Amino acid sequence: MDRKAALYIRVSTDAQYEEGYSVDAQKEMLAAYCVTKGWKNYEFYIDGGFTGSNIERPAMKRLIEDVKQGSVSAVVVYKLDRLSRSQKDTLYLIEDVFNPAGAAFTSLNENLDTATPMGRAMLGIMSAFAQLERETIRERTRMGMKERVKEGLWMGGGRTPFGYDYDRTTGVLVPNADAAVVKRIYELYLSGYSAARIAEMVGLKHDKQVRDILKRRSNTGVILYNGT
């Protein structure tokens, strides 16, 4: 079997397109690396819009399957965190998937090559830093959302509640055309109608939607964040 080099690419957010992590930018660098190695048989595995916190990604699953089938001689990424931001997942992929199948792993940015003793020694250190960066970003994001809510602003993420639009300029929720429906739901509920009957009367698909609207604190002008 003519084994191939697997060039894995991951982009999780639109912001990464601006930071040099775009799919095209990664493809260009990985293909250039193959040229320097004299590799002509290579294939791209691309996950667009997927987090690095786990390996539940379509292209990643296909890569794992191909490696286990023995059709991959090397796995190459632009940066270690493109493979994963979890130390546990990184070590699993390399120690339990790539190595047993004889597939070397290379990360261009860190100059990491598990085909060498030094590369293997550096792997644990680099994967630990990748996980630290992920957890730092997550904590910073949480703190930012909490501060927004304290100021009376919408947290800026998640689904906008039914009956509102999110005004990005002011950072607040603004009642939209569906606000009248929300008001009608409360009126019908106070008149004794069941959630299922209200859903039929106002044109919603499920009674759960009605119950969620009735219990939603944002309808009272309050924004709930992490139970507070």
All domains in the chain, ordered by first residue: 4-140 (3.40.50.1390), 164-220 (1.10.10)
| pLDDT at res. 173 | 81
Residue 12 known to be catalytic: yes
| pLDDT at res. 18 | 44
Residues of the chain with pLDDT under 50: 15-18
| pLDDT at res. 52 | 83
Element (H, E) at 11: strand 4-11
Taking the whole predicted model, whether its pTM rises above 0.85 is answered as no
Q: Which two tokens stand for residue 186?
A: 């409360």
| pLDDT at res. 224 | 74
pLDDT digits (tens, 9 = 90+) for 106-132: 888 877 766 666 666 666 566 666 666
Cα–Cα distance measured from residue 134 to residue 81, given in angstroms and rounded to the nearest whole number: 9
Cα–Cα distance measured from residue 62 to residue 48, given in angstroms and rounded to the nearest whole number: 14
